[in-house]
Amino acid sequence: MKSAFIYSEEFAQYDFGPLHPFKTARAKIVYELCHRYNLLDRPWIEIIKPEPLCFEKLSLFHDSEYLRLLEAASSKAFAFEMLGCGLGTEENPVFEGLYTLVTLSAGATYKGVELLLGKDFNIALNIFGGFHHAGRSHAEGFCYINDVGIAISHLLKEGFKVAYIDLDAHHGNGIQNAFYGDNRVLKISLHESGKTLYPWSGKETEIGENRGKGYNVNIPLPQGTDDEAYLYAFSQVVPPLIKTFSPDITVGVFGADTHYSDPLTHLNMSNYAPCEAVKAIREISPKLLALGGGGYNIYTSARTWSLLWAIMNKITPEDAFLGLVGGMMFGPEEESGSPEDAPRYTTGDVKQCIQKEVARVVDYIKETVFPLVGV
């Protein structure tokens, strides 16, 4: 079986503005790190260049009128209706070429789906994907086109069962809202609690509705959650649900913004926890579409995503520049000698409060959700 690394140099050619936290250059850094660590030159790995997704396929998830406004905004043809759907705000600025960028991102994710539906590939990565906040008719949270929603909609149309696992520190509200009543999609999101972080949603009590009741699972994490508490919650909830649901394809949003150095979040995790989580996801998923998601310390995020790609392909990173100026990784790094961080631990009364809250959420899911889906 083969793995697809889907990448375009065009990802890094656009700029959201000097003060905006989303930096497109991070995709290029991941690509360069993967080369540096010999993570791409393998016989089963193909580097594939995507094409922008056409209007018809974008419409699998998005409203046509919104797409027309987005296209017009990209050419600076401003209309007040754009503000009503989240375009032209400080959060979601508009600039020349925006439509090309977001449709290229969606095209990369869609290409990954097409490859996985064939016989040759069982892993596909679009590091410039995972825009899980966008709604059918609005932009939000730096997300203009919901490539995840398009991918899931296409898979459902083709008759497949989909597991959606979101490890991003921000709750995947766009996916939850779109498929809240659908039992063909098992949606699991581990994220910092909406009490302290955008998009202020993702409570454990949001478990789906109608046929989808029990198929929407949220694990909100308190501020300061460390690797140990995170992996406890993950191991108790995710593998049992996935094994019972038995999806045809797993779609993973592997945001790197859970890291303690991320400027927009408040967790106390290294990259150890997401690495361990992705190891488990890789083992229980027959086919895996992996998407980048959030990550606003660009060097730490790039390092984490490079490691995740190595894990998905069961490769040990080997630094071609070891011993030269620059150390193990690009950018200022706390660790040396290994691209993988040591686990981080919260201590004292704060740790006890975190453990108690995480255990409460896990128990709630086991008592409420597990019986609904047959675990």
* Predicted local confidence at residue 325, as pLDDT: 40
What contacts 186, CB < 8 A, 6 or more positions away? Answer: 161, 162, 163, 164, 215, 217, 241, 242, 245, 247, 373
Residue 246 has pLDDT above 80, yes or no: yes
Backbone angles phi, psi at 198, to 5 degrees: -55, 140
Closest CA to 126 of 31, 247, 248, 15: 31
**Residue entry with tokens 């995020």:** 301
Q: Which residues of the chain form beta strands (DSSP E)? A: 2-6, 45-48, 121-126, 162-166, 185-192, 216-221, 249-253, 288-291
**Average pLDDT over every residue of 331-337:** 47
Residue 333 has pLDDT above 90, yes or no: no
Residue 143 has pLDDT above 60, yes or no: yes
Percentage of the residues of the chain whose pLDDT score is greater than 90: 90
* Predicted local confidence at residue 321, as pLDDT: 61
Longest CA span, the chain = 59
Residue 273 has pLDDT above 60, yes or no: yes
Q: Which residues pair with 187 in a beta bridge?
A: 164, 216
* Predicted local confidence at residue 332, as pLDDT: 45
**Average pLDDT over every residue of 306-323:** 85
**Average pLDDT over every residue of 179-185:** 98
3-class SS of residue 219? strand
CA distance 221 to 359: 10
Angle between helices 272-284 and 298-312 (to 10 degrees): 30
Give the model confidence (pLDDT) of 300-309 as tens digits: 999 999 999 9
Amino acid found at 124:
A
* Predicted local confidence at residue 326, as pLDDT: 45
Do 225 and 357 meet the contact criterion of CB atoms below 8 Å apart? no
70-84, 197-211, 244-258: range with lowest mean pLDDT: 70-84
CATH code of domain 2-373: 3.40.800.20
Q: What is the SS3 assignment for 253-322?
A: ECCCCCECCCCCCCCEECCHHHHHHHHHHHHHCCCEEEECCCCCCHHHHHHHHHHHHHHHCCCCCCCCCC
For the beta sheet containing 249-253, the strands, ordered from the edge strand earlier in sequence to the opposite edge, are 45-48, 2-6, 121-126, 288-291, 249-253, 162-166, 185-192, 216-221
Give the model confidence (pLDDT) of 124-138 as tens digits: 999 999 999 999 999
Out of 132, 133, 170, 191, the active site residue is 133
Residue 162 has pLDDT above 80, yes or no: yes
Confidence of residue 320 (pLDDT cuts 50, 70, 90): low
Q: What is the SS3 assignment for 239-254?
A: HHHHHHHCCCEEEEEC
**Average pLDDT over every residue of 142-161:** 98
* Predicted local confidence at residue 323, as pLDDT: 46
Residue 20 annotated to the active site: no
Radius of gyration of the chain from Cα atoms? 19
Model confidence, pTM: 0.95
The residue ranges of every structural domain in the chain are 2-373
Amino acid found at 112:
G
Residue 174 has pLDDT above 90, yes or no: yes
> What's the mean pLDDT when you consider all of the chain?
94
Residue 29 has pLDDT above 80, yes or no: yes
Whole-number Cα distances in Å, 373 to 51, 59, 198, 240, 252: 38, 31, 29, 10, 20
Percentage of the residues of the chain whose pLDDT score is greater than 70: 95
The token pair at 303 is 């390092």
